[in-house]
Amino acid sequence: MKRVKVGFWGIDSILEFVKITSSSRHKMELVCGSTVVDAKSLLSVLSVKAAQAVELVIHEDCCERLLERLDPYIEHGSLLDRAHHLSA
């Protein structure tokens, strides 16, 4: 299982994220606090707070290609997470 923070910077980024995740065979979800949603569902991804980093949980260890495709979201999630911790 892999867990990474991801972040979004607008509706276009969410649309592209769902396009990437839905084309993958891996089972995955987004976790935001106590909320867990399907990472392949546009409506579900739209329901999480876009202004903060959320955790992407991929239920497989061999997912390097997927992680490479999601790298911009992982980088943005890292930035949002750091900013959140600085303001807390």
pLDDT of residue 50: 63
pLDDT of residue 80: 83
pTM comes to 0.89
pLDDT of residue 88: 59
What are the residue ranges in the chain where pLDDT is below 70? 49-51, 85, 88
Q: Which long-range contacts (CB under 8 A, 24 or more apart) does 16-25 make?
A: 17/45, 17/70, 17/73, 18/42, 18/45, 20/66, 20/69, 20/70, 21/66, 21/70, 24/63, 24/66
> What is the CB-side half-sphere exposure of residue 27 using CA atoms within 13 A?
4
